[in-house]
Amino acid sequence: MIAGRGFLDPLGISSFDEEHSEREERWVSLGRESYGKVLVLVHTFAEFSAEEWGIRIISARKATKREARQYEEIER
């Protein structure tokens, strides 16, 4: 599993994780990777310079059945 592929999903969704953003802003994203698996990605944005930003993945895993169902409902 290459976690970054979950960000390529044009139907992927992200939400701000207020509960775990004490030290840095964290986001949770759901996205389907190229093999069809729905992934849960916890990430933050990293500033490399004034003009350059990137995504730092904190954790990535296959979505549970419940999370995958939620994604499917939103995807429609």
- Alpha-carbon span 63 to 37, nearest angstrom: 8
Mean pLDDT for the chain overall: 88
Domain tally, the chain: 1
The parent domain of residue 60 ranges over 3-75
Residue type, 16: F
- Alpha-carbon span 1 to 3, nearest angstrom: 6
28 close to 41: Cβ distance less than 8 angstroms: yes
Please determine, for residue 72, whether its predicted confidence score (pLDDT) is greater than 60.
Answer: yes
| Percentage of the chain exceeding pLDDT 70 | 96
Tell me whether strands 13-16 and 27-32 are parallel, antiparallel or unpaired: antiparallel
pTM of the model: 0.80
